[in-house]
Amino acid sequence: MRMNICSCLLALVLGCNVTAEIIHQVVKEEQQVSLRCSHSVEGKVTWSREINGNTVNIFIVDGDREQRFNDPHKRYGSIADKSLHISRVAVSDSGKYLCNNESAVELTVIPSGTTIVSIAEKSNVTLTCPDVVGGSHVPTWTREIAGKQQQIRPHFSAVDKYLNIPDVQPGDSGLYYCDGKPAANLTVTKGDQSERGETQELKDTHKNMKAGKAQRRSYLKE
């Protein structure tokens, strides 16, 4: 009896060690993407996704045979390692995908024209409203995570068409909207703050903010 208990505990520990973390992928709409299983697979592979709290099969590959579900435009396919290939992705494709009933990928599809920002935690980042948003008022910023609107942290500060986020954390990741228009998809990664680097786009944004503040000070003096 004791040996059986030890064997079960050992199997449980080994199982925990080999469990793979879910992959997070971000892609813009109308592009194509391949989703990989979180573990090696052989034989028949069933891809499914979570929709309204339910797990729904969307694609099955078994050797040379493929079966699609609710895919009239045949956007689903597979490649050599039996990854799920999706062509012309839409925002509605966002969500969790499972390979043989095991969580594999959390897919986020963002609207075309949305800026993708990836930065290390504890950094400072500034997001910019898209040009289509009017400049006559201070716009309202919101954030979307997994299809749900989330409140932004209180210490975020909005100046003109910019949203400044100090000391970003992984929980700040998500798709940000400015007056209802998608502005930027922010991904905060764990890492040493000293190793982070700003993209040229972020540098230009910070430069524009400083120039705007200087211009306002000059205007007030006059």
CATH number at residue 83: 2.60.40.10
Q: Same domain, yes or no, for 172 and 136?
A: yes
pLDDT in tens, 119-140: 999 999 999 888 765 655 778 8
13, part of any domain: no
For residue 216, pLDDT over 50 is answered with: no
Q: Phi then psi for 35, rounded to 5 degrees? A: -105, 125
Residue 5 or 176, more confident: 176
3, part of any domain: no
221, part of any domain: no
pLDDT of residue 155: 75
Q: Same domain, yes or no, for 127 and 77?
A: no
Q: Same domain, yes or no, for 28 and 105?
A: yes
Q: What is the DSSP string of 35-92?
A: E--SS---S-EEEEEEETTEEEEEEEEETTEEEESS-TT--EEE-TT-PEEESS--GG
Question: How many domains are there within the chain?
Answer: 2
What 93-98 contacts at long range (C-beta under 8 Å, 24+ apart), as own/partner pairs, is 94/146, 94/147, 95/49, 95/50, 95/51, 95/146, 95/147, 96/22, 96/49, 96/50, 97/35, 97/47, 97/48, 97/49, 98/47, 98/48, 98/49, 98/50, 98/55
Q: How sure is the predictor about 156, in pLDDT bands with cuts at 50, 70 and 90?
A: confident
196, part of any domain: yes
172, part of any domain: yes
Distance CA 127, CA 182 (A): 11
pLDDT of residue 54: 93
14, part of any domain: no
65, part of any domain: yes
pLDDT of residue 88: 95
Q: Same domain, yes or no, for 124 and 203?
A: yes
Across residues 100-106, what is the average pLDDT?
94
- Whole-model pTM over 0.85: no
Q: Same domain, yes or no, for 74 and 58?
A: yes
pLDDT of residue 126: 92
pLDDT in tens, 31-66: 999 999 988 888 899 999 998 889 999 999 998 899
The answer to whether residues 120 and 58 touch, using CB atoms and an 8 Å cutoff, is no
Across residues 61-76, what is the average pLDDT?
93
Q: Same domain, yes or no, for 122 and 202?
A: yes
Q: How sure is the predictor about 181, in pLDDT bands with cuts at 50, 70 and 90?
A: confident
Domain boundary among 110, 127, 153: 110
Distance CA 186, CA 141 (A): 13
Strand ranges of the sheet holding 115-120, from the earlier edge strand across to the other edge: 115-120, 181-189, 174-178, 141-145, 148-150
Domain assignment of residue 80, given as a range:
21-110
Q: Same domain, yes or no, for 124 and 208?
A: yes
Q: Same domain, yes or no, for 143 and 194?
A: yes
33, part of any domain: yes
pLDDT of residue 202: 47
Over pLDDT 90: what percentage of the chain?
40
Q: Same domain, yes or no, for 151 and 203?
A: yes
The DSSP call for residue 170 is G
Q: How sure is the predictor about 199, in pLDDT bands with cuts at 50, 70 and 90?
A: very low
Would you report the helix, strand and coil content of the chain in percent, each value rounded to 5?
A: 20, 40, 40
Domain boundary among 75, 90, 110: 110
Across residues 13-42, what is the average pLDDT?
77
Domain boundary among 77, 110, 143: 110
Sort strands 115-120 and 95-99 into parallel, antiparallel or unpaired: unpaired
Sort strands 23-28 and 102-110 into parallel, antiparallel or unpaired: parallel
Q: Same domain, yes or no, for 67 and 122?
A: no
Q: Same domain, yes or no, for 145 and 75?
A: no
pLDDT of residue 5: 43
Q: Same domain, yes or no, for 75 and 161?
A: no
Distance CA 79, CA 75 (A): 13
